[in-house]
Chain A
């Protein structure tokens, strides 16, 4: 099947992959951050126990938040890909917009709109960096013109 992309899972399963990856990032990052914060905020002699307690309390929460964001983003991206029947960066930008808006929906329309705009802009920047990487990396297999001997130049009429 031509459309099977061998570098990523097909669309439903990639949601699990992204949510899990985001959870791992959030948990590990949260563990590092809260261990340092817990150690700093504990009295001397109790620093190790304090940092462990802080990590136990806060790191899974951060992991869960990241997982929710990543899973929602990936879900909406799959939805956009299926609805538009096209793969281009607008899918990521729109799904970032929707994710940001939905996750802040409890705060009312204004907060949700601001969060949606921030999410969309953030993803537009990430996609821009991805495009820049694609340009720098020498992509194999660029299309070439067929060797037509007397190809006329562009019409000047």
Chain B
């Protein structure tokens, strides 16, 4: 039986190329496996991505009384229609650019809709020198049935409202808490009532 290093050079070349091809295939697979989650999660979860700022801007719009007065509640946010069949949720139009002062800008545009009216929201974020993104402007434009459209500037100096999932959790939590408190009170009242009835019966027995 020939050991691997004794076999003729043609066989060694063949097996080496096979190994090389396998390594290339595995490397491509790993790149795709790591690359796709990176693409997705850098946009979705990371603070560099436009989706986090879309959520934050939508929350600010939902909490601003002017927008609620114009558009109504609940406010639904969505993006531009996409001709790609793979897009199940309409993607949010965004643009990263560097202006002539060298400051990086992120421009986001999405649409909102409520029971009363629909509108466009335009957001501009600048990257401050310490690396944080800050709001430059956050505008809501609502068309006005022949009259000029209303422009609402949303306050971005106040601290950000809580994200939507946290709001849902707190709502559910408070609802369950009130339910629990109410049921505890009724149980206590009924138990106390039953106990007084039992006590009276015992006393009547002893007489």
A-B interface contact total, Cβ < 8 Å: 123
The distance in angstroms between the C-alpha atoms of A131 and B43, with both chains bound, is 9
Chain A residues whose C-beta falls within 8 Å of the C-beta of B70 in the assembled complex: none
Can you report 23 residue pairs joining A to B where beta carbons are below 8 Å apart?
A2-B111, A3-B76, A5-B81, A5-B90, A85-B76, A87-B90, A90-B44, A131-B91, A133-B84, A139-B80, A139-B91, A141-B80, A142-B94, A143-B109, A145-B99, A145-B124, A153-B99, A153-B101, A153-B102, A153-B103, A154-B129, A154-B134, A154-B136
Q: Is the interface of B mostly helix, strand, loop or mixed?
A: mixed
Q: How large is the interface on B (under 10, 10 to 19, 20 to 34, 35 or more residues)?
A: 35 or more
User: Given A84-B164, A87-B79 in contact, is the A3-B103 Cβ separation under 8 Å?
Assistant: no
Query: Which 3 A-B pairs have CB atoms at the shortest separation, nearest pair first?
Result: A128-B40, A154-B126, A143-B109
Interface string of B1-36 (1 = CB under 8 A from A): 000000000000000000000000000000000001
Shortest Cβ gap from A140 to chain B (Å)? 9
Chain B residues whose C-beta falls within 8 Å of the C-beta of A2 in the assembled complex: 111, 113, 118
Shortest Cβ gap from A157 to chain B (Å)? 9
Residue ID in chain A nearest B58 by CB atoms: A86
Q: Could you list which residues of chain A lie within 8 angstroms of chain B, going by C-beta atoms?
A: 1-3, 5-8, 77, 81, 84-92, 124-135, 137, 139, 141-145, 151, 153-156
The distance in angstroms between the C-alpha atoms of A130 and B91, with both chains bound, is 10
Q: Is the interface of A mostly helix, strand, loop or mixed?
A: loop
User: Given A153-B101, A153-B103 in contact, is the A86-B55 Cβ separation under 8 Å?
Assistant: yes
Chain B residues whose C-beta falls within 8 Å of the C-beta of A125 in the assembled complex: 36-37, 40
Of B83, B89, B90, B105, which contacts A92 at CB under 8 A? B89
Contact residues, B41-56 vs A (CB, 8 A) = 43-44, 51, 54-55
- A3/B89 in contact, CB under 8 A: no
User: Given A7-B81, A129-B36, A145-B97 in contact, is the A155-B113 Cβ separation under 8 Å?
Assistant: no
User: Given A87-B89, A89-B44, A124-B40 in contact, is the A155-B84 Cβ separation under 8 Å?
Assistant: no
Shortest Cβ gap from B8 to chain A (Å)? 38
